[in-house]
Structure 1
Amino acid sequence: MKLAFRFSYFGDRFFGSQMQPGLRTVEGEFIEACRLLGLFDDWREAGFVTAGRTDRGVHARGQVCSFSTDEPDRAVQALNKVLPADIWCTAWAGVPAGFHPRYSAASRTYRYYFFAPENVAAMHEAAQEFLGRHDFSLFARVGDRNPERRILTARVFKDGPFTVFEVTGESFLWNMIRCMATALDRVGRGEAVAGDIARLLTEPAGQRIPAAPPDGLILWDIDYGISLTPLPIDEKSRQHLVDRHRYHAVMAEVAACLVPEDRQLDTHRI
């Protein structure tokens, strides 16, 4: 039976999501958990694949993987008990043989969390320049790939102490959202305006926009148009979430004492 799992993780303790020999990665830990449970012996034969890679330090709320197994009930009931505390499955579904987490996706949504005060209205206005199909050569590491991408929605809003950039597109290039975030951050700080982003999209010549730090980026959701069955989070992962919240609450108080008021950064992390 072929299964799809939606799962979350904190990316700061992994060397990215993609498997790398000798390094702790999200895929490596997930595959090892499947092996321990006897869900498959060879991940290649099982067709294990994820919706896409995330860089070191990037988090996920809605990453998706799929694989085939003769033990679907065991997978659903036990994966969260075997996975490390910083990875946890949130939902699952039985999927057709032709389902592919990457190519079957209709759209992907990311959020970038800014940890400093920003001009939200100006950033939201500037984010509208990304809508539609554009050449993102100056907003990504393109390589030999087609630099054109279609953005479906984009908005900037406040969420508690954070300023959040949320963007939905059919697909994204490497570092694309983080480069877009840098451009919006410049607008939020009064160093650029919406017209500057429009110009970079219509006249893609010159120096590429640098990528914003990875720790603010979250793969938020992937739309497949299928129904998923929710899964309860394991107690070890629940405690991990509580411990991280407490730690970053303390770090925020320390930062408030050490950083001058006009340069304060919120050190909470997602």
Structure 2
Amino acid sequence: MLTVQALIGSPRVLRFKSNGWLYKFTRIRLMMSEESEKTLTMPLKRVEEGNGDSGENGHIRKKLKSDVEDTGDERKHPKRKVVLLLAYSGKGYYGMQRNAGSSQFKTIEDELVTALIKSGCIPDNHGDDMKKMSFQRCARTDKGVSAAGQVVSLKLWMIEDLMEKINSNLPTQIRVLGLKRVTGGFNSKNSCDARTYSYMLPTVAFAPKSYNTKNSTAFRLDPETLQRVNRLFASYKGTHNFHNFTSQKAARDPSARRYITEMSCSEPFVRSGTEFAEITVRGQSFMMHQIRKMIGLIIAVVKGYTGEEVLQRSWGEEKVDVPKAPGLGLVLEKVHFDRYNKRFGGDGLHECLEWTEEEQAIMAFKEAHIYPSIVETECLEDSMVNWMATLPIHDFEATATGAQVKDRGQDDDEEGNGSDSAL
């Protein structure tokens, strides 16, 4: 039993510590006359240091940093805004974006969220509502489309061995290859200045339409045809009206104008006895199916189904029937954050969102998972050859002069910002 002398005066907190326990009480001002002052005797309940709740008789329990580890995970580890560099093979998945409440169509984000929960870097309830962790992706890749440089931003508990624990809970065809801290207001979708995609295809796609595709593995692309292909792809550079290269976009819709900075086809190479080439395209943003239609139209021109003038007509207001190349072979290679890097990359607090140190791991993943999947599937299913058989049914002449009607029920592009949703 301790005694406290109640005195008239300003309240004042008194502390007493004994044997590792903290005692706290307040010097009390009593509303009474001097004649009625007396000594009060009150029991004090000892409380364990570090507990922030109030105890009996109003005694306050003190919270100390040393006791944080006695609480839940949210107090063990700080929560920070980060970006994750993702690489994945899209085969067998219905695209990147998660469809909440639908387990029938598994996506890349389904696997990622499950791994984050199992790793202990987000609470269980964040899996049901990804907004709780401020999750955002740079681009929504379509069914079967792969990525070597997808970037997502989110808030995570910074647990030890974070990347290793996430990857241990992911299938081998999905990997986290990099992690960096970013500013609290960073949004990977809105902060992305440009996106680079590649498209790997068998070179028989550029064979004359009279070529016998039953012998497609024997075809080899000649230098003159490759030169023409690159000249045609280069015509896409600059700003054009791509309303004919997506669906449900009005010809005079300002959002149909897109800026392309690069598009070219590589030198051919042989894999599994078939000659392939890789097309690279970089732009500020792309609409649904835009890249596949850009490639499909050039293939139609090179094969002789239509003339080169179709490109100019396709950028006008007339409706032009533009064929869409198969989704197999499309890969999100890289996303670019030039403005963010210029503003924050050199401030001494944040890193540039460049992944030069991860380039070797990115290439190793592509060689192990992405390229073999594309080559094996193409050789097994002949997706390009089967698609080429549909080219004669397309009418490349203008079929209408009015603007296309836009369906209000469909987003213009990825979540309204102009990046790919289903390329």
* Same fold? TM cut 0.5: yes
% same residue: 23
The one of 40, 63, 68 aligned to 2:122: 40
Q: Answer 1 or 2: higher relative contact order, Cα 8 Å, separation at least 6.
A: 1
Runs of 4+ in 1 over 6 A off after TM superposition: none
- What is the TM-score normalised by the length of structure 2? 0.54
Range with greater deviation from structure 2 (164-173 or 109-118): 109-118
The residue aligned with 1:268 is none
- SS across alignment from 2:235: helix
Q: 2 CA distance for matches of 1:132 and 1:171?
A: 13
**Deviation digits for residues 47-74 of structure 1 (CA, Å, limit 9, x no counterpart):** 1221121110111111111111122544
The number of residue pairs the alignment matches comes to 254
Gaps of 5+ in 1: 264-270
Q: After TM superposition, list the pairs within 5 Å mapping 1:51-200 onto structure 2.
A: 51-117=138-204, 118=206, 119-143=225-249, 146-160=255-269, 161-200=275-314
The residue aligned with 2:92 is 13
Check conservation: 1:130, 1:151, Cα contact below 8 A: yes
The residue aligned with 2:45 is none
- How much is the aligned-residue C-alpha RMSD, in angstroms? 3.1
Relative to structure 1, the CA distance from residue 232 to residue 217 in structure 2 (aligned partners, 3 Å threshold; closer, same or farther) is: closer
Check conservation: 1:153, 1:168, Cα contact below 8 A: yes
Check conservation: 2:296, 2:322, Cα contact below 8 A: yes
Q: 2 CA distance for matches of 1:149 and 1:246?
A: 31
Check conservation: 1:136, 1:204, Cα contact below 8 A: no
**Could you tell me which amino acid in structure 1 is paired with residue 245 of structure 2?**
F
Q: 1 CA distance for matches of 2:288 and 2:374?
A: 31
Q: 2 CA distance for matches of 1:134 and 1:250?
A: 33
Relative to structure 1, the CA distance from residue 138 to residue 251 in structure 2 (aligned partners, 3 Å threshold; closer, same or farther) is: closer
The one of 334, 343, 351 aligned to 1:221: 334
**Deviation digits for residues 177-226 of structure 1 (CA, Å, limit 9, x no counterpart):** 0110101211332334443212311x131134132111121111111142
Gaps of 5+ in 2: 1-79, 207-224, 270-274, 339-352, 390-423
Relative to structure 1, the CA distance from residue 130 to residue 255 in structure 2 (aligned partners, 3 Å threshold; closer, same or farther) is: closer
Q: 1 CA distance for matches of 2:336 and 2:195?
A: 6
The residue aligned with 2:222 is none
Relative to structure 1, the CA distance from residue 179 to residue 242 in structure 2 (aligned partners, 3 Å threshold; closer, same or farther) is: closer
Q: 2 CA distance for matches of 1:153 and 1:244?
A: 22
**Could you tell me which amino acid in structure 2 is paired with residue 224 of structure 1?**
F
- SS across alignment from 1:13: coil
